[in-house]
Amino acid sequence: MTSGKPYIPEPAKLVEVIEETPTIKTLVVEPEAAIDFRAGQFVQLTLPGVGEAPFTPSSSPLEAKRIAITILKTGAVTDGLHECKAGQMLGIRGPFGKGYPMDKLKGREVLVVGGGV
C-alpha cells in the first residue's frame, strides 16, 4: 500500500474470476499500486456498498502487481464477492501481519501447514 492511509482501500480492478468449485472462487485483482506482501500476511478486500473481509493471498508474493485471493462463500461479503465479474472495481488494504521470517529460515528445513480454503 502506498497511500499512507491504512484505513482507506486502494482501488483494485478484478481481472479474472476462476470458479474452483460451486462454493469457492479465486479472484485475481490488479491494485492501482502494487502491494508488496510476504507469505503469512493478509489483505482486506472491499466490496463497495457491502463491506470488507480479511483474506490471505493465494498467489506468490513475487507477483505484487496481480494478487489472487481464493474465497469460500460463507456470508454477506463473500456471497457478494462471488457475484463479481471481471472488470469490476474492488478495494484492497494491506498487507497486514508480520508474515513468516523467511530470512531467519534460509538454509533450514521447515514444514509450513496452512489452513482455510
Instruction: Tell me the domain boundaries of the chain.
Output: 10-105
Q: pLDDT of 37-82, one tens digit each?
A: 988 899 999 999 999 999 999 998 888 799 999 999 999 999 999 9
Cα separation, 57 vs 67, whole angstroms: 6
The pLDDT of residue 22 is above 60: yes
Over 90: is that where the pLDDT of 114 sits?
no
Q: CATH for 10-105, among 1.10.150.120, 3.60.20.10, 2.40.30.10, 3.40.50.300? A: 2.40.30.10
pLDDT of residue 3: 56
Three-state DSSP class for residue 71: strand
> pTM of the prediction?
0.88
